């Protein structure tokens, strides 16, 4: 009988993930005949990029460096609901991502193989009936995970952010998967207890700094907290900096010019979608870095910053947005920022195409988040990112050409 080895099966063109490492010989039929079972890109229980799933809130002994945490909350939107299904749409969109197919040409590395422990914590259980309760549940979940010990020395060895923490300790990084944009408020409430005042780097078609008291239908305190007032609310609570926060990609219609002066009073500088025509991605990157300086940064990415032709599945789409390529280039240029938390929000898959365009775009952007969190932190003077191939020339991880090293296998491209 021919025994197919694990290696032979892994050599397919799909993303394959070993569910269990092979441990010695076994007498069981499957293992004897085919070796370990594995996920193919289209199979397996769905987690982000086939990462291990932990019920992190129930398992205090499970340490990690980076956690994906779903926040399936969508009961404070102003237009189309449905973002409660966003976390799983992003996971579905990530099925062709995997640790053994994670190598990225533009980053010239594989974020899953840098030594940091990355897990999918599933979703925080959130009430769909009581927003005050849901906000508390989200903040409690975030604080619980933020207080956990980091799993490895990765951050310590790669320029961690403990210098910004009030307790001087290294804390795990949480990537929240929304959910509507309101999920940023409980995250900022939890983060401010650890880091104090935080700068917000906000990619969005909309300001999300509107005074919640001025909304139609804002008759109670709770109803002033919406996905369009989230950063105004965070500002009134003193959670975020009013001198180093910035929006990028804004293009929505406003009520009046005073929306802009109010936004400025809340504490944001503003780059419009159209600014990219003159500034190019490199100018957008420079302006963002200049604004946030050396402060702890919360990166909040509303998928509606992307043009709806590329990411239609969102609650309040606006035409004329950035391309996914442009946004990826901007994110890569910001990897040196001291990021204390990140989110990707407003994916509402009921409005997606059957090709799952939005879920896949969102998953790709989360992969860029991992690149930002893991690439060479703390190396002063280094480039933010260096591609493996540029203008036809192949580079190794240190930026030297393969030809310089006498490698000939792939240098004619």
Q: Which residues here bind Mn ion, judged by CB under 5 A? A: 181, 204, 208, 302
153 is in an annotated binding site: no
Q: How far is residue 51's CA from residue 37's CA, in Å, rounded to a whole number?
A: 15
For Mn ion, which is the closer residue by CB, 32 or 214?
214
Q: Distance of CA 17 to CAs 47, 60, 97, 107, Å?
A: 12, 26, 10, 21
Nearest approach in angstroms of CB 140 to Mn ion is 23
352 is in an annotated binding site: no
For Mn ion, which is the closer residue by CB, 123 or 302?
302
For Mn ion, which is the closer residue by CB, 88 or 316?
316
Using alpha carbons only, give the angle 71, 358, 389 rounded to the nearest 5 degrees: 110
| Nearest alpha carbon to residue 68 among 54, 82, 84 | 54
Q: What is the 8-class DSSP label of residue 327?
A: H
| Nearest alpha carbon to residue 88 among 367, 359, 366 | 359
Nearest approach in angstroms of CB 82 to Mn ion is 14
Q: In degrees to the nearest 10, what's the CA dihedral of 310, 315, 320, 326?
A: -50
Nearest approach in angstroms of CB 341 to Mn ion is 16
User: H or E element: which one contains 30?
Assistant: helix 29-34
Q: Which residue has the tokens 């804002």?
A: 218
304 is in an annotated binding site: yes
Residue 305 DSSP SS3 = helix
For Mn ion, which is the closer residue by CB, 302 or 368?
302
For Mn ion, which is the closer residue by CB, 107 or 203?
203
247 is in an annotated binding site: no
Sign for the CA dihedral angle at 290, 158, 97, 149 comes to negative
SS3 content of the chain, % helix, strand, coil (to 5): 35, 15, 50
Q: How far is residue 292's CA from residue 341's CA, in Å, rounded to a whole number?
A: 15
For Mn ion, which is the closer residue by CB, 123 or 208?
208
Nearest approach in angstroms of CB 150 to Mn ion is 30
204 is in an annotated binding site: yes
- E strands along 251-365, which residues? 268-272, 297-302, 339-345
158 is in an annotated binding site: no
Hey, what are 359's tokens?
């879920």
Nearest approach in angstroms of CB 306 to Mn ion is 12
Nearest approach in angstroms of CB 87 to Mn ion is 16
Binding residues for Mn(2+): 181, 204, 206, 208, 302, 304
């Amino acid at each position: 009988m021919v025994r197919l080895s694990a290696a032979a099966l892994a050599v397919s063109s799909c993303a394959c993930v070993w569910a269990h490492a092979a441990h010695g010989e076994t007498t069981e039929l499957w293992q004897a005949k085919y070796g370990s079972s594995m996920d193919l890109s289209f199979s397996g229980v769905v987690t982000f990029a086939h990462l291990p799933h932990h019920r992190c809130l129930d398992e205090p002994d499970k340490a990690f460096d980076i956690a994906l945490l779903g926040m399936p909350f969508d009961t404070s939107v102003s237009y189309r609901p449905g973002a409660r299904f966003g976390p799983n749409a992003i996971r579905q969109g990530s099925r062709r991502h995997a640790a053994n197919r994670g190598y990225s040409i533009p980053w010239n590395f594989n974020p899953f193989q840098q030594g940091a422990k990355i897990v999918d914590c599933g979703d925080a259980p959130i009430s769909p009936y009581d927003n005050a309760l849901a906000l508390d549940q989200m903040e409690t979940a975030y604080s619980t995970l933020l207080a956990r010990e980091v799993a490895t020395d990765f951050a310590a060895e790669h320029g961690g952010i403990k210098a910004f923490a009030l307790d001087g300790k290294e804390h795990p990084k949480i990537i929240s998967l929304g959910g509507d944009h309101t999920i940023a408020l409980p995250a900022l409430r939890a983060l401010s207890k650890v880091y104090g005042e935080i700068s917000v780097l906000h990619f969005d078609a909309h300001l999300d700094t509107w005074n919640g008291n001025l909304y139609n239908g804002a008759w109670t305190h709770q109803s002033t907290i919406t996905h369009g007032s989230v950063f105004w609310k965070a500002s009134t609570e003193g959670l975020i900096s009013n001198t180093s926060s910035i929006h990028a990609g804004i293009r929505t219609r406003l009520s009046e010019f005073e929306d802009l002066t109010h936004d400025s009073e809340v504490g944001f500088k503003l780059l419009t979608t159209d600014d990219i025509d003159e500034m190019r991605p490199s100018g957008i990157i420079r302006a963002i870095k200049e604004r946030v300086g050396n402060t702890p940064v919360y990166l909040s990415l509303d998928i509606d910053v992307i043009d709806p032709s590329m990411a239609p599945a969102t609650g309040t789409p606006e035409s004329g947005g950035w391309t996914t390529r442009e946004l990826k280039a901007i994110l890569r240029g910001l990897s040196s920022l001291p990021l204390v938390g990140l989110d990707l929000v407003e994916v509402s898959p009921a409005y997606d195409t059957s090709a799952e365009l939005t879920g896949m775009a969102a998953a790709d952007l989360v992969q860029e988040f991992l690149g930002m969190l893991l690439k060479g932190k703390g190396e002063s003077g280094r480039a933010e990112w260096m591609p493996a191939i540029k203008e036809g020339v192949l580079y190794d991880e240190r930026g030297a050409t393969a030809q310089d090293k006498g490698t000939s296998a792939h240098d004619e491209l």
